[in-house]
Protein backbone atom coordinates (compact mmCIF):
# COMPACT_ATOMS: atom_id res chain seq x y z
CA UNK A 1 0.00 0.00 0.00
CA UNK A 2 1.35 3.43 -0.93
CA UNK A 3 2.19 6.03 1.69
CA UNK A 4 -0.03 9.05 2.26
CA UNK A 5 0.50 12.42 3.94
CA UNK A 6 -0.02 10.91 7.39
CA UNK A 7 2.53 8.10 6.91
CA UNK A 8 5.31 9.80 4.88
CA UNK A 9 8.84 9.25 6.17
CA UNK A 10 9.91 12.82 5.38
CA UNK A 11 7.17 15.45 5.32
CA UNK A 12 9.01 18.70 4.71
CA UNK A 13 12.35 20.48 4.81
CA UNK A 14 12.82 23.99 6.18
CA UNK A 15 15.75 26.37 5.75
CA UNK A 16 16.72 28.03 9.03
CA UNK A 17 17.22 31.41 7.41
CA UNK A 18 17.86 33.28 10.63
CA UNK A 19 20.97 31.12 11.16
CA UNK A 20 22.43 31.50 7.66
CA UNK A 21 25.70 33.46 7.93
CA UNK A 22 25.38 35.13 4.50
CA UNK A 23 23.21 34.74 1.43
CA UNK A 24 26.06 36.12 -0.68
CA UNK A 25 28.23 33.03 -0.17
CA UNK A 26 28.01 29.45 -1.47
CA UNK A 27 25.74 27.56 -1.19
CA UNK A 28 23.22 30.06 0.15
CA UNK A 29 23.42 32.34 -2.90
CA UNK A 30 22.10 29.59 -5.19
CA UNK A 31 18.53 30.34 -6.36
CA UNK A 32 17.11 27.02 -5.18
CA UNK A 33 18.57 27.62 -1.72
CA UNK A 34 18.00 31.34 -1.25
CA UNK A 35 14.33 30.94 -2.25
CA UNK A 36 13.81 28.01 0.09
CA UNK A 37 11.61 28.51 3.12
CA UNK A 38 9.66 25.30 3.63
CA UNK A 39 9.65 22.55 1.05
CA UNK A 40 6.59 20.32 1.38
CA UNK A 41 7.37 16.83 0.10
CA UNK A 42 4.90 14.45 -1.47
CA UNK A 43 4.61 11.16 0.44
CA UNK A 44 5.20 9.20 -2.76
CA UNK A 45 7.36 11.03 -5.30
CA UNK A 46 8.77 14.56 -5.37
CA UNK A 47 10.69 15.74 -8.45
CA UNK A 48 13.08 18.68 -8.33
CA UNK A 49 13.76 19.97 -11.84
CA UNK A 50 15.37 23.06 -13.31
CA UNK A 51 18.32 24.62 -15.12
CA UNK A 52 21.99 23.92 -14.45
CA UNK A 53 23.53 25.99 -11.68
CA UNK A 54 20.31 26.56 -9.76
CA UNK A 55 21.31 24.37 -6.80
CA UNK A 56 19.14 21.27 -7.30
CA UNK A 57 21.92 18.80 -6.55
CA UNK A 58 23.22 20.91 -3.69
CA UNK A 59 19.78 20.94 -2.12
CA UNK A 60 19.30 17.20 -2.62
CA UNK A 61 22.74 16.47 -1.17
CA UNK A 62 21.95 18.54 1.90
CA UNK A 63 18.62 16.77 2.43
CA UNK A 64 20.36 13.40 2.14
CA UNK A 65 23.12 14.31 4.60
CA UNK A 66 20.55 15.77 7.01
CA UNK A 67 18.76 12.41 6.88
CA UNK A 68 21.93 10.53 7.78
CA UNK A 69 23.13 9.37 4.37
CA UNK A 70 26.73 9.46 3.21
CA UNK A 71 27.40 12.58 1.12
CA UNK A 72 28.84 10.54 -1.78
CA UNK A 73 25.92 8.14 -1.82
CA UNK A 74 24.86 4.75 -0.57
CA UNK A 75 22.99 3.75 2.56
CA UNK A 76 23.13 5.28 6.02
CA UNK A 77 25.73 2.62 6.86
CA UNK A 78 28.21 3.90 4.26
CA UNK A 79 30.88 6.11 5.83
CA UNK A 80 33.59 6.34 3.18
CA UNK A 81 34.81 9.67 1.85
CA UNK A 82 36.85 9.96 -1.35
CA UNK A 83 37.01 13.73 -1.00
CA UNK A 84 34.74 15.76 1.24
CA UNK A 85 33.33 18.46 -1.01
CA UNK A 86 29.73 18.63 0.21
CA UNK A 87 28.43 21.98 1.39
CA UNK A 88 27.43 23.00 4.90
CA UNK A 89 23.81 23.48 3.86
CA UNK A 90 22.62 20.41 5.76
CA UNK A 91 23.54 22.16 9.01
CA UNK A 92 20.89 24.81 8.28
CA UNK A 93 18.02 22.48 7.39
CA UNK A 94 15.25 21.30 9.67
CA UNK A 95 13.73 18.03 8.55
CA UNK A 96 10.17 17.25 9.59
CA UNK A 97 9.88 13.48 9.76
CA UNK A 98 6.81 11.30 10.05
CA UNK A 99 6.02 8.91 12.87
CA UNK A 100 7.06 5.92 10.76
CA UNK A 101 10.69 5.17 10.06
CA UNK A 102 11.80 3.66 6.76
CA UNK A 103 13.19 0.14 6.83
CA UNK A 104 15.38 0.83 3.80
CA UNK A 105 17.01 3.85 2.23
CA UNK A 106 19.57 4.93 -0.34
CA UNK A 107 21.11 8.16 -1.59
CA UNK A 108 21.74 7.55 -5.28
CA UNK A 109 24.08 10.15 -6.72
CA UNK A 110 25.08 9.66 -10.36
CA UNK A 111 28.09 11.96 -10.00
CA UNK A 112 29.81 9.76 -7.41
CA UNK A 113 28.26 6.36 -8.11
CA UNK A 114 31.67 5.03 -9.21
CA UNK A 115 32.89 5.62 -5.65
CA UNK A 116 29.87 3.80 -4.24
CA UNK A 117 30.58 0.87 -6.59
CA UNK A 118 34.16 0.73 -5.31
CA UNK A 119 32.95 0.73 -1.71
CA UNK A 120 30.50 -2.09 -2.49
CA UNK A 121 33.47 -4.15 -3.75
CA UNK A 122 35.50 -3.32 -0.63
CA UNK A 123 32.59 -4.46 1.56
CA UNK A 124 32.08 -7.55 -0.61
CA UNK A 125 28.42 -6.62 -0.83
CA UNK A 126 27.77 -7.27 -4.52
CA UNK A 127 25.18 -9.86 -3.56
CA UNK A 128 22.92 -6.96 -2.57
CA UNK A 129 23.21 -5.56 -6.10
CA UNK A 130 22.42 -8.68 -8.14
CA UNK A 131 25.56 -10.71 -7.48
CA UNK A 132 27.88 -9.07 -10.01
CA UNK A 133 30.42 -6.36 -9.24
CA UNK A 134 29.05 -2.98 -10.30
CA UNK A 135 32.41 -2.29 -11.94
CA UNK A 136 31.96 -5.40 -14.11
CA UNK A 137 28.82 -3.99 -15.71
CA UNK A 138 28.13 -1.17 -18.12
CA UNK A 139 27.40 2.22 -16.61
CA UNK A 140 23.67 1.92 -17.21
CA UNK A 141 23.51 -1.71 -16.07
CA UNK A 142 25.26 -0.84 -12.81
CA UNK A 143 22.73 1.95 -12.20
CA UNK A 144 19.82 -0.38 -12.81
CA UNK A 145 21.34 -3.09 -10.61
CA UNK A 146 20.91 -0.76 -7.64
CA UNK A 147 17.36 0.21 -8.60
CA UNK A 148 16.30 -3.39 -9.19
CA UNK A 149 18.17 -5.31 -6.50
CA UNK A 150 19.24 -2.91 -3.74
CA UNK A 151 16.03 -0.87 -3.46
CA UNK A 152 13.79 -3.26 -1.55
CA UNK A 153 10.77 -1.18 -0.54
CA UNK A 154 9.49 0.51 2.61
CA UNK A 155 12.31 2.96 2.05
CA UNK A 156 13.29 6.58 1.55
CA UNK A 157 15.17 6.94 -1.73
CA UNK A 158 16.90 10.21 -2.60
CA UNK A 159 18.12 10.24 -6.20
CA UNK A 160 20.24 12.82 -8.01
CA UNK A 161 20.05 12.49 -11.80
CA UNK A 162 19.36 8.73 -11.86
CA UNK A 163 18.77 8.94 -15.61
CA UNK A 164 22.38 9.98 -16.37
CA UNK A 165 23.50 6.57 -17.72
CA UNK A 166 20.13 5.26 -18.86
CA UNK A 167 18.76 5.04 -22.38
CA UNK A 168 15.30 6.58 -22.93
CA UNK A 169 13.73 3.13 -22.76
CA UNK A 170 15.57 2.32 -19.54
CA UNK A 171 14.43 5.65 -18.09
CA UNK A 172 10.86 4.57 -18.66
CA UNK A 173 11.61 1.19 -17.09
CA UNK A 174 12.92 3.15 -14.11
CA UNK A 175 9.50 4.80 -13.81
CA UNK A 176 7.93 1.38 -13.60
CA UNK A 177 10.39 0.37 -10.89
CA UNK A 178 9.60 3.55 -8.94
CA UNK A 179 5.90 2.80 -9.33
CA UNK A 180 6.37 -0.70 -7.90
CA UNK A 181 8.39 0.61 -4.96
CA UNK A 182 5.87 3.35 -4.23
CA UNK A 183 3.21 0.64 -3.95
CA UNK A 184 5.60 -1.05 -1.50
CA UNK A 185 5.45 1.94 0.87
CA UNK A 186 8.44 3.85 -0.47
CA UNK A 187 9.02 7.59 -0.80
CA UNK A 188 11.21 9.20 -3.47
CA UNK A 189 12.87 12.60 -3.81
CA UNK A 190 14.40 12.91 -7.28
CA UNK A 191 16.40 15.57 -9.08
CA UNK A 192 16.34 15.03 -12.83
CA UNK A 193 16.86 16.70 -16.21
CA UNK A 194 15.05 13.96 -18.09
CA UNK A 195 11.58 14.75 -19.51
CA UNK A 196 11.01 10.99 -19.61
CA UNK A 197 11.52 10.73 -15.85
CA UNK A 198 9.11 13.52 -14.91
CA UNK A 199 6.99 13.92 -18.03
CA UNK A 200 3.70 12.53 -16.78
CA UNK A 201 1.03 15.20 -17.37
CA UNK A 202 -1.35 16.87 -14.90
CA UNK A 203 0.88 16.92 -11.83
CA UNK A 204 1.21 19.83 -9.41
CA UNK A 205 4.51 21.65 -9.16
CA UNK A 206 6.03 24.88 -7.96
CA UNK A 207 8.06 26.97 -10.37
CA UNK A 208 10.73 29.46 -9.43
CA UNK A 209 11.38 32.27 -11.86
CA UNK A 210 14.83 33.82 -12.07
CA UNK A 211 13.17 37.19 -12.77
CA UNK A 212 11.31 36.95 -9.45
CA UNK A 213 14.43 36.36 -7.36
CA UNK A 214 13.86 32.62 -7.42
CA UNK A 215 10.57 32.76 -5.51
CA UNK A 216 8.56 29.57 -5.79
CA UNK A 217 5.42 30.14 -7.84
CA UNK A 218 2.50 27.79 -8.58
CA UNK A 219 2.49 26.73 -12.20
CA UNK A 220 2.01 24.05 -14.82
CA UNK A 221 4.86 22.15 -16.40
CA UNK A 222 4.57 20.02 -19.51
CA UNK A 223 8.03 18.82 -20.62
CA UNK A 224 8.66 17.56 -24.13
CA UNK A 225 9.71 13.97 -24.70
CA UNK A 226 11.05 12.10 -27.71
CA UNK A 227 9.17 9.07 -26.40
CA UNK A 228 5.88 10.80 -25.77
CA UNK A 229 4.14 9.03 -28.62
CA UNK A 230 5.28 5.64 -27.34
CA UNK A 231 4.44 6.47 -23.75
CA UNK A 232 0.88 7.56 -24.51
CA UNK A 233 0.13 4.94 -27.16
CA UNK A 234 -1.21 1.58 -25.89
CA UNK A 235 0.26 -0.03 -28.99
CA UNK A 236 3.72 1.47 -28.59
CA UNK A 237 6.58 -1.02 -28.36
CA UNK A 238 7.53 0.34 -24.93
CA UNK A 239 4.06 0.05 -23.43
CA UNK A 240 5.09 -2.95 -21.36
CA UNK A 241 7.77 -0.90 -19.65
CA UNK A 242 5.44 1.82 -18.45
CA UNK A 243 2.53 -0.09 -16.96
CA UNK A 244 0.78 1.90 -14.28
CA UNK A 245 2.18 5.34 -15.10
CA UNK A 246 -1.26 6.88 -14.60
CA UNK A 247 -0.62 6.33 -10.89
CA UNK A 248 1.82 9.23 -10.95
CA UNK A 249 -0.77 11.76 -12.08
CA UNK A 250 -2.07 11.97 -8.53
CA UNK A 251 1.02 10.68 -6.76
CA UNK A 252 3.77 13.21 -7.35
CA UNK A 253 4.82 16.77 -6.79
CA UNK A 254 7.27 18.63 -9.02
CA UNK A 255 9.40 21.38 -7.52
CA UNK A 256 10.90 23.59 -10.20
CA UNK A 257 13.53 25.80 -8.52
CA UNK A 258 14.36 27.91 -11.55
CA UNK A 259 12.83 28.72 -14.90
CA UNK A 260 15.09 28.41 -17.96
CA UNK A 261 16.97 31.67 -18.58
CA UNK A 262 15.63 34.06 -21.18
CA UNK A 263 17.08 33.61 -24.67
CA UNK A 264 18.89 36.79 -25.59
Name the pLDDT band for 254 (thresholds 50, 70, 90): low
Architecture category of domain 10-258 in CATH: 3-Layer(aba) Sandwich (3.40)
Per-residue DSSP letter, 15: E
> For 159-202, what is each residue's pLDDT tens digit?
999 999 998 888 888 988 998 999 999 999 999 887 766 554 33
Instruction: Give the integer Cα–Cα distance in Å for 182 and 176.
Output: 10
Domain boundaries, the chain: 10-258
Give me the sign of the Cα torsion angle 231, 232, 237, 243. positive
Instruction: Give the integer Cα–Cα distance in Å for 201 and 88.
Output: 35
Cβ proximity of 254 and 204 under 8 Å: yes
Model pTM score? 0.81
Cβ proximity of 118 and 124 under 8 Å: no
Q: Give 221 or 127, the one with higher predicted confidence.
A: 127
- Work out the mean pLDDT of the chain and round it to a whole number: 79
Residue 81: predicted pLDDT:
74
Amino acid sequence: MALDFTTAYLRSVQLLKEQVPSFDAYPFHLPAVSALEQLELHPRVTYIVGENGMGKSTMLEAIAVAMGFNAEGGTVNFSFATRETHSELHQYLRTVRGARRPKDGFFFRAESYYNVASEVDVLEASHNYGGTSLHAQSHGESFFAAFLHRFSGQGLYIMDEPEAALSPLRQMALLTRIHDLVKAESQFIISTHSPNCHGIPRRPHLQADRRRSGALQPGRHRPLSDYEGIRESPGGHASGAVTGLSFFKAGTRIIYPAAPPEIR
